[in-house]
Amino acid sequence: MKRSILAAIILVSCQGLAFAQQNKVEVNTVIAAEKNFDKLVERRGIKDAFLAVADPEGIVFKPEVVKITDFYSQIDKQSGTLVWEPKFARISANGDLAFTAGPYVYQNGKDDSDKVFGHYVSVWRADINGKLKLLIDLGIQHPEPEAGQAELTDFKDPDSSKRVAPSKDPFNGRSIIIGTDKIFNHELTVSALATYKEFLSPEARYYFPGFEPILGPDKIMQFIDNEGINISAETINVGRSTSNDLAYSYGRARIKKGEIVSNYNYVRIWEIDASHKWNVLLEVFSAVEQ
């Protein structure tokens, strides 16, 4: 009996070790997916490239939430050139959820005067074959960056010790993110500054239309204070990696900036810290044009 129990323990341990060691996950996986997407846009155009990489449930904000496949299959081929570069990226320990963010330039003609500058955020999810597909795409516009002003690159591989077998109860994990996002939204109505101070990751980035990315909790809170920003928001949907280390949420927001009130879409990227607390690693607001 003791031999049987010992054998079972060894078998389970070996299986866990094998899972943790197989196919080491690196952030370069999502960087490669993003760069391949960029090359597809160059070769096949914006419309066909989006359709080629889209997750079946992938969404864009136009300005309401719409499936990528529905939106791009119903429009004419888009003119102009679109180029971008990942500068901020993470991937989950299980490799099933990832994101990249960085600057983009869109040009609809040959004249440099018609260039549009901004930053994008892309969330990627692995399909049944483990290939990353585009799940969420959102961006902001801002003035052209000053010459010689280089954006810091922040790519980080996941902690391989967090690799776990896919959860048998994914709905429980999802409900935790829904609850966390709703708590965050409620606290924003009480005090935006106190909420961000509580929830921001030390590596947090903040993307707001008309401004270049704001890096770090101190600068983010200073921006919110200086701009007189008040936020009320509503969660629409969320998702979480099977390794429980990376998640996303998105929804609608009404933001009062000074005396002006406007509608926005938001996307948040969440990461879990050593104390098992979920923090905001990235937040992006995209204006809903009337």
Burial 121-142 (b: 16+ CB within 10 A, else e): bbbbbbeeeeebbbbbbbbbeb
Residue 98: closest CA among 12, 40, 27: 27
Does a structural domain hold residue 176? yes
- The mean per-residue pLDDT over the stretch 269-276 comes to 94
Q: Please check whether residues 243 and 203 belong to one and the same domain.
A: yes
At 44-53, the pLDDT tens digits run 999 999 999 9
pLDDT-derived band at 63, boundaries 50, 70, 90: confident
Answer whether residue 97 shows pLDDT above 60.
yes
Q: Is the pLDDT of residue 164 over 80?
A: no
Report pLDDT for 168.
53
Amino acid making up residue 40: L
3-state secondary structure 192-239: HHHHHHHHEEEEEEEECCCCCCEECHHHHHHHHHHHCEEEEEEEEEEE
pLDDT of 186-198, one tens digit each? Answer: 999 999 999 999 9
Q: Are strands 246-257 and 260-272 parallel, antiparallel or unpaired?
A: antiparallel
Alpha carbons 186 and 233: distance in angstroms, whole number: 8
In-domain check, residue 240: yes
Q: Do 115 and 195 belong together in one domain? A: no
Q: Are residues 143 and 40 in the same domain?
A: yes
User: What pLDDT does 1 receive?
Assistant: 44
Q: Is residue 260 part of a domain?
A: yes
Q: Over range 233-240, report the average pLDDT.
A: 96
Residue 78 has pLDDT above 80, yes or no: no
- Residue 177, strand partner residues: none
The mean predicted confidence, pLDDT, of the chain is: 87
The predicted pLDDT at position 151 comes to: 83
Q: 52 and 147, same structural domain? A: yes
Going by C-alpha positions, the residue among 282, 246, 95 that lies closest to residue 173 is 246
Residue 8 lies in a domain: no
Give the confidence band of 5 by pLDDT, cuts at 50, 70, 90: very low
pLDDT greater than 70 at residue 13: no
Query: Can you list the alpha helix ranges (DSSP code H) found in the chain?
Result: 2-21, 28-44, 46-53, 68-73, 170-190, 192-199, 217-227
From CA 271, how far away is CA 241, in angstroms rounded? Answer: 10
d(CA 36, CA 45) in angstroms, rounded, equals 13
Angle at 279 between CA 278 and CA 280, to 5 degrees: 135
> What pLDDT is recorded for position 152?
86
Predicted local confidence at residue 290, as pLDDT: 52
Output the CA torsion sign for 103, 107, 113, 114: negative
N residues, the chain:
290
Which pLDDT band holds residue 24 (cuts at 50, 70, 90)?
A: confident
Residue 143 shares a structural domain with residue 175: no
Q: How confident is the model at residue 219 (pLDDT cuts 50, 70, 90)?
A: very high
Identify whether the C-beta of residue 51 lies closer than 8 Å to the C-beta of residue 63. Answer: no
- Same domain (yes/no): 155, 227: no
Can you give the pLDDT at residue 172? Answer: 61
121 and 226 assigned to the same domain: no
User: Which pLDDT does position 72 carry in this prediction?
Assistant: 94
Give per-residue pLDDT as tens, 122-159.
999 999 999 999 999 999 999 988 876 778 899 999 98
Range of the domain at 147: 28-162
Q: Is 4 within a domain?
A: no
Q: Is there a single domain that holds both residue 194 and residue 157?
A: no
Does 111 share its domain with 223? no
Same domain, 51 and 150: yes
Indicate if 258 and 192 belong to the same structural domain.
yes
Looking at 103, 136, 162, the residue that finishes a domain is: 162
Per-residue DSSP letters for 130-159?
A: S-EEEEEEEEEE-PPPPTT-PPPPEE----
Determine the Cα–Cα distance for residues 289 and 263; give it in Å rounded to an integer: 8
Residue 7 falls within a domain, yes or no?
no
Q: Domain end: 162, 190, 207, which one?
A: 162
Domain boundary among the residues 120, 145, 162 is at: 162
- Using a pLDDT cut of 90, give the percent of the chain over it: 72
> What global pTM score does this model have?
0.88
Q: What angle do CA 175, 171, 23 make, to 5 degrees?
A: 110
Q: Give the HSE-up count for residue 59: Cα atoms under 13 Å, Cβ half-sphere.
A: 15
CATH of the domain at 271: 3.10.450.50
Q: Could you give the CA distance from residue 123 to residue 101 in angstroms, rounded to a whole number?
A: 9
If one counts the domains in the chain, the total is 2
15 lies in a domain? Answer: no
Task: Give domain status of residue 102, yes or no.
Answer: yes
Same domain, yes or no: 33 and 157: yes
